[in-house]
Structure 1
Amino acid sequence: MNMLASRGQLRASFIRWALFTVPLVVLLGFLGGQMGGPDTAWFQALEKPSIYPEPKWFGIVWSVLYVMIGLALALVASAWGARGRTAALWVFVVHFAFNLSWTWVFFGSKQITGGLIVLVLVALTLLAVIALFWRVRKLAGVLLLPYLAWVLFATALNYQFLQLNPDADGGNTEGAVERVRI
């Protein structure tokens, strides 16, 4: 017998990892979201882009995406001995730190440009994570594709916020400059 583990053992390993990674990713996403949000006076005063969806969709989409991210992470984490597993997990940690920092930068620090920079870093590191996850477990890479689509949408949305609200970047909603749209 050449097998290191049976299919049942591999499935059990994935389930154990998923029971850890899915709640962890969802919890970290929730905690990251507590660093600021759309209810602030600063954000309410911003002009919203035409592609800005109803705020309720952000919670729904992020909840689904965080579950998918957790499952992808479990697939890779449970792939003991797979070539590239360790590198994939470390790049994911760096990527996810960027993901979680966006809320604090955009809402907490009121930095629209900073938020855009963070989202570009999120997108670039996500591409690396997808490539690395794909090599370890193809399904793990596939599970991250909707997340990539959402990050690209968020980047476009952040860019439009910056274009519509250049004077609000850095939290300056009051001051000597007043825009009048005719």
Structure 2
Amino acid sequence: MTQAVASRPNQALGFVAWLALCVATSSIGALASANARTFYADLVRPVWAPPGWVFGPVWSALFLAMAVAAWLVWRVPQPSKARSAALSLFVAQLVANALWSWLFFAWHLGGLAFAEVLLLWLLIASTLIAFWRVKPAAGLLLVPYLAWVTFASALNYTLWQLNPTILG
């Protein structure tokens, strides 16, 4: 049996594990966002703010792309410091991703959520670069995520400014 054939079950399990980690992160954020639809609808929003229904499909696609990107880096044949560092950054940005939902939707801390989303942006950008160095396709898969969080950062700031009594 060749090495590639023998590793297929492990690679499939690896993908499932990265996908499960992304789903778990999404689920933690979703717990904080249980009332997000009503909360978001009650906020004064800029004209360029998307309708609330957009966020679910966008985040679902982004989390899937993130899982694929992490899996591509994880399955690079030779373990290395670069690969380990890239995957550590990935996990760190997942933690920051989940925390933002709690800061904004559950705790209504607009300013702190804005500061945290800037940290998230830096972690995503660092992860994208680190992934690119290990496996360029993996870095490319994170470009839409970075673009969306760039947009989300501007929206977070604007919502915070437009809703000072609600978002402290």
The TM-score normalised by the length of structure 2 is 0.88
Partner residue, 1:67: 64
Instruction: Give the structure with the higher percent helix.
Output: 2
Query: In structure 1, the residue corresponding to 2:36 is in which secondary structure?
Result: coil
- Distance of aligned partners of 1:159 and 1:128 in 2 relative to their CA distance in 1, 3 Å threshold: same
Aligned match for 2:86, one of 85, 88, 102: 88
Shift of 1:44: 4.0
Unpaired runs of 5+ residues, structure 2, are: none
CA distance in 2, matches of 1:85, 1:107: 34
Indicate the percent of aligned positions where both proteins have the same amino acid.
Answer: 33
Aligned match for 2:114, one of 103, 113, 116: 116
Q: Structure 2 counterpart of 1:48, which letter?
A: R
Count of aligned pairs between the two proteins: 165
Q: Larger radius of gyration, structure 1 or 2?
A: 1
Unpaired runs of 5+ residues, structure 1, are: 171-182
Question: Which runs of 4 or more aligned residues in structure 1 lie more than 4 Å from their structure 2 counterparts after TM superposition?
Answer: 5-13
CA distance in 2, matches of 1:107, 1:83: 37
CA distance in 2, matches of 1:149, 1:43: 21
Query: In structure 2, the residue corresponding to 1:34 is in which secondary structure?
Result: helix
Instruction: Please list the CA deviations of residues 123-148 of structure 1 after superposition, one character each: whole Å capped at 9, or x if unmatched.
Output: 01111101111111111101100000
Kept in 1: contact 2:25–2:97 (CA 8 A): no
- Kindly report the root-mean-square deviation, in angstroms, between the aligned alpha carbons of the 2 structures: 2.0
Q: Structure 1 counterpart of 2:115, which letter?
A: I
Partner residue, 1:48: 45
Q: Which moved more, 1:55-64 or 1:44-53?
A: 44-53
Shift of 1:53: 1.1
